[in-house]
Amino acid sequence: MMLTDQQALRMGYLSREEQLVQAQEVTLRQGDGRTLCCHQLALPNRLSATIQWDRCMDISHLRYAGIPLCYLGKSDERSDSSPQFEQRFSGGMLYTCGLLNVGPQDDAQPTHGRIHLQSASMRSIRRVGDALVLQGQMREGALFGENLRLTRRLTFPLNTPEVHLSDTLENLSPTPQPYMLLYHINLGYPLLSEHLRLTLPDGTQTTAATAHARKHQAEHAFFTPPQTDFQEQDFYHRLPAQDGYCALTAENSMLGIGLGLRYRADTLPYLVQWRCLRSGDYVLGLEPANNHAQGRTQAARDQRLPRLQPFETITTELTLTCYDLPRQRMMSPADVTDT
């Protein structure tokens, strides 16, 4: 077992912790001169990540043992934030949606809301025991309207390949405030392929979002190579909770790795699944949420729009865990040839 950076330093293997733990702020420059501030991590647990301070502290890149895990959209994170959602959706491992809308746009709110476009204030990165902790605050407000503050904490243990997210959402106004929140976690190639299998726990309740998706509901946990004419499918899952949390896995037998997702059940009761196997738009979205992704207007009609009372605070949590599969669950090159 590899020593921790502190152990290796004390024993004389290192002169600086940065030999094992890389954490550096970088600035990406755009064509029009604007900049995007990020933090890049490379950790001894075999995880590397890019956190975007200027995009709600979302995670644009995540790799495990050098393997890319996430989907990247056709527009990168440096693109102009003004076009329609389809033109600026950059994908990434984590893309936060809300706080006033999740789903289609309406007269007042853009598709999936505005919070992803907010820059973090009160930024900090610090060492807490054997973990790196990044923290910042994002705000969404309007004159005579909402006043919401989101405080995000991302914790990266140095010795286990995990990412812990904890968000505290506050209503800083004297009136009740509707809110919507969805964590758009996007898996892409090579993790997503015909060798990936999604496993939801027994007792999961699944409904299809559309008539087309209903025809393919039995296939929701299985995936094919990219198809030119694939029509995307959305499903809503209600997972059974254990000790207050829901959990699922996605495992790739060819790569020999798996990804676990665990999230808090009381504040994120739904899991939205986006199954899109279209060529060039090849992505699996696993999206813990406090609502269906049908838009604020529809949620209000269905009386399913959550509200924060004056000065009320809620907390959401989720964890991504990477792991190696046991040998008996890995696929050999001979298996690939046979198939």
CATH number at residue 126: 2.70.98.10
Structural domain boundaries enclosing 163: 93-338
Residue 150 to residue 147: CA distance in whole angstroms? 10
pLDDT at residue 81 in the model: 62
pLDDT at residue 338 in the model: 46
Residue ranges of the chain whose pLDDT lies below 50: 337-339
**Would you say residue 174 lies in a domain?**
yes
pTM of the predicted model as reported, rounded to 2 decimal places: 0.94
**Would you say residue 316 lies in a domain?**
yes
**pLDDT tens-place string over residues 244-273:** 999 999 999 999 999 999 999 999 999 999
**Would you say residue 59 lies in a domain?**
no
pLDDT at residue 336 in the model: 55
**Would you say residue 15 lies in a domain?**
no
**Would you say residue 11 lies in a domain?**
no
**Would you say residue 81 lies in a domain?**
no
pLDDT at residue 327 in the model: 79
Residue in this structure with the two tokens 């094919």, named with its chain if needed: 224
**Would you say residue 127 lies in a domain?**
yes
pLDDT at residue 326 in the model: 92
**Would you say residue 105 lies in a domain?**
yes
Residue in this structure with the two tokens 């269905």, named with its chain if needed: 302
Residue 69 to residue 255: CA distance in whole angstroms? 11
Number of domains present in the structure of the chain: 1
pLDDT at residue 334 in the model: 54
Among residues 196, 232, 227, the alpha carbon closest in space to that of 216 is found at: 232
pLDDT at residue 339 in the model: 40
